[in-house]
Structure 1
Amino acid sequence: MPINNKLEEKLDLLTKLHSEMNQYRPLSKKQVEQLDANVRIEHVWSSNAIEGSTLNRYETASILNTGMTVHGASLRDTMAAVDLNEAYDYMMDLASRKQPLTTVIIRDLNRLVMLKNTDDRSQAGAYRVIDVWPNGQEDQPYTAPTEIPFKIQELIDWSEKAINQLHPVQYAADLHQKFVSIHPFVDGNGRTARLLMNFALSEAGYPVVSIMPDKKSRNEYMEALATSRATGNLVPFEELVADYAISTLKKRINILRQNEKNIEEAKEATNLRDY
């Protein structure tokens, strides 16, 4: 499907911002580690919150950083944070090694997402055998259980071509949308989809994006997905993901720009010789 002018402008801007980001000197190892930890916590918190977790960002950080439960937090929400954290690390490791998308990767991401947070661990990574549909849309079921293996293979085949044909952010958005439209697993489909999206973004050198879970942002996200699925027009969801990627890139560039400014100021503000 051809892209419209508005989306094309956003993709062009993303390419320019990505190029600008790569022109700055890298952060120190310690700052990179801290930034990566912050991004990971935000992703785990926001992705679980979209699915109904009551943990806030601070509580999520406390669980992931200390390994201790938070007073008053449900065990289910706590385990969901631990699971998604492990799945996120797995996703980033795959992206760093430029792994092609496979059915095993998809299954393993879902398996990690659901491993401790399911009543039946055997269902983690296993395709569902019952019909499911979006809330209130019983007349629009997701892919029939018997068709799931074929649709997942179609997704893999599409991925092999699309990754080289589409803009990286457009490809990441489409991968998310196509996977969610299949909805292959009993649970954890949304979290798995957002991991797949960020797997694609990270492989292409783009920062991880996190869909915000506040009511307005969540509704916009769900509506864009629903529109894309109902009409076959992926542009609404592509534009939404592009907006998130643009915002994230601008924030990253501001950090890198400030880092360079701070380094140059530090060089001038000294009475030491040969420093």
Structure 2
Amino acid sequence: MPIEEKLAEISELKAKMAALRPLSVEQGKELKQRVRIEHVWSSNAIEGNTLTLHEVVSILNTGMIVHGVPVKDVLETLDLNEAYEYMMELASQQTPLSSTLIRTLNRIVTLQTTNDKANAGVYRILAAWPFGSEDKPYVAPFDIAPQMDQLLDWAHTEQKTLHPVQFAADLHQKFVSIHPFADGNGRTARLLMNMALTQAGYPVINVQPDKEARTIYMEDLAVSRESANLQPFESLISDYVRKTLAQRISILELNEKNQEDAKNDVDPRFEKFLQDKDND
């Protein structure tokens, strides 16, 4: 399906979602918590973190550390959880993208695991490339600062004109192509993408870390970077947004049905019971 058709369908799904009865405060909190935990697990797992979703749930919900898991993986979990909550706070305030915002996200993401804490959030000074692709380096160190400035200029203009999903995907792709930091670029990119989606009223999406999904994700990023054709990656992210919107709509529709079913299935003696209780 052409990207234009996907984006049009996504806009329709978003409007459908907005027209449905919202979840209760408690339901909303529980759903947001589950999305956050899945993001922490999936985004870290894409980068090689070995913790399972169950182990991440245990760490973030109960503070219990599973015996035998690597300390670094636990610290990455705690750091990304903090960075996610910071990102969501920025999104709720409609905070404009800035170098300070990006550097701060990267600092939080790598806070407890970087070997060089003084350079967390600092642009790298050495060459970098995708694993196994030394012949295809990311942006050269001396070009990082000007290209990040160009990225911010682009973002401030295009966020107002591009479809929000297309903008979020392009922001992720352009940031990763620069690869400005020594560590945490992928996790930072996925936070930036989701901040853009959230600011536009879309749900957070979580790129899946299983072998097939990760391979497709990495290949589409590589193709977009090497060919300057952003559509493969835009199409992939659009598919994630479309699937997430469909899931959210299903939840909201089920909630409406359950509410109506409960409303129409009340024992008439219940009202009398309440009245008698009030009169006691």
**Normalised by the shorter chain, which TM-score bucket?**
over 0.9
User: Could you tell me how far 1:118 is from its partner in structure 2?
Assistant: 1.2
Alpha-carbon distance in structure 2 between the residues aligned to 1:177 and 1:67? 34
Alpha-carbon distance in structure 1 between the residues aligned to 2:49 and 2:73? 6
Task: Specify every segment of 5 or more residues in structure 1 that has no aligned partner in the other structure, as ranges.
Answer: none
Q: 1:254 aligns with which of 245, 250, 254?
A: 250
Deviation digits for residues 23-54 of structure 1 (CA, Å, limit 9, x no counterpart): 01110111111000000000000000000011
Alpha-carbon distance in structure 2 between the residues aligned to 1:88 and 1:57? 16
Alpha-carbon distance in structure 1 between the residues aligned to 2:165 and 2:54? 29
Alpha-carbon distance in structure 2 between the residues aligned to 1:144 and 1:230? 15
User: Could you tell me how far 1:72 is from its partner in structure 2?
Assistant: 1.2
Deviation digits for residues 83-133 of structure 1 (CA, Å, limit 9, x no counterpart): 000000000000000011000010011000000111221121111100011
Alpha-carbon distance in structure 2 between the residues aligned to 1:62 and 1:120? 29
User: Could you tell me how far 1:67 is from its partner in structure 2?
Assistant: 2.2
User: Could you tell me how far 1:256 is from its partner in structure 2?
Assistant: 0.3
Q: Kindly name which structure, 1 or 2, has the bigger radius of gyration based on alpha carbons.
A: 2
Paired AA for residue 247 in structure 1 = K
Q: 1:137 aligns with which of 133, 137, 154?
A: 133
Alpha-carbon distance in structure 2 between the residues aligned to 1:68 and 1:75? 13
Alpha-carbon distance in structure 2 between the residues aligned to 1:124 and 1:83? 13
Paired AA for residue 266 in structure 2 = T
User: Could you tell me how far 1:60 is from its partner in structure 2?
Assistant: 0.5
Q: 2:88 aligns with which of 62, 85, 92?
A: 92
What is the count of residue pairs matched by the alignment?
A: 271
Alpha-carbon distance in structure 2 between the residues aligned to 1:117 and 1:28? 37
Structure 1 segments, 4+ long, off by >6 Å, are none
Paired AA for residue 62 in structure 1 = S
Partner in structure 2 of residue 148 of structure 1: 144
Structure 1 vs Structure 2: percent identity of aligned residues?
55
Partner in structure 2 of residue 116 of structure 1: 112
Alpha-carbon distance in structure 2 between the residues aligned to 1:67 and 1:157? 41
Paired AA for residue 99 in structure 1 = T
Paired AA for residue 20 in structure 1 = K
Secondary structure at the aligned position of 1:164 is classed as coil
Paired AA for residue 109 in structure 1 = L
TM-score of the superposed pair, with normalisation by structure 1: 0.97
Deviation digits for residues 225-265 of structure 1 (CA, Å, limit 9, x no counterpart): 00000000000000000000000000000000000000000
1:8 corresponds to 2:4: yes
Alpha-carbon distance in structure 1 between the residues aligned to 2:13 and 2:111? 37
Q: What's the Cα RMSD here?
A: 1.1
Question: Which stretch of structure 1 is more off in the superposition, 224-233 or 135-144?
Answer: 135-144
Q: 1:176 aligns with which of 172, 175, 181?
A: 172
Alpha-carbon distance in structure 2 between the residues aligned to 1:56 and 1:190? 19
User: Could you tell me how far 1:137 is from its partner in structure 2?
Assistant: 1.6
User: Could you tell me how far 1:9 is from its partner in structure 2?
Assistant: 0.8
Secondary structure at the aligned position of 2:160 is classed as helix
Alpha-carbon distance in structure 2 between the residues aligned to 1:27 and 1:139? 50
Q: Map of 1:22-41 to 2, 5 A cutoff?
A: 22-41=18-37
Alpha-carbon distance in structure 1 between the residues aligned to 2:148 and 2:133? 22
Task: Specify every segment of 5 or more residues in structure 2 that has no aligned partner in the other structure, as ranges.
Answer: 275-280
TM-score of the superposed pair, with normalisation by structure 2: 0.95
Alpha-carbon distance in structure 1 between the residues aligned to 2:111 and 2:221? 26
Question: Which stretch of structure 1 is more off in the superposition, 73-82 or 115-124?
Answer: 115-124
Q: Map of 1:136-215 to 2, 5 A cutoff?
A: 136-215=132-211
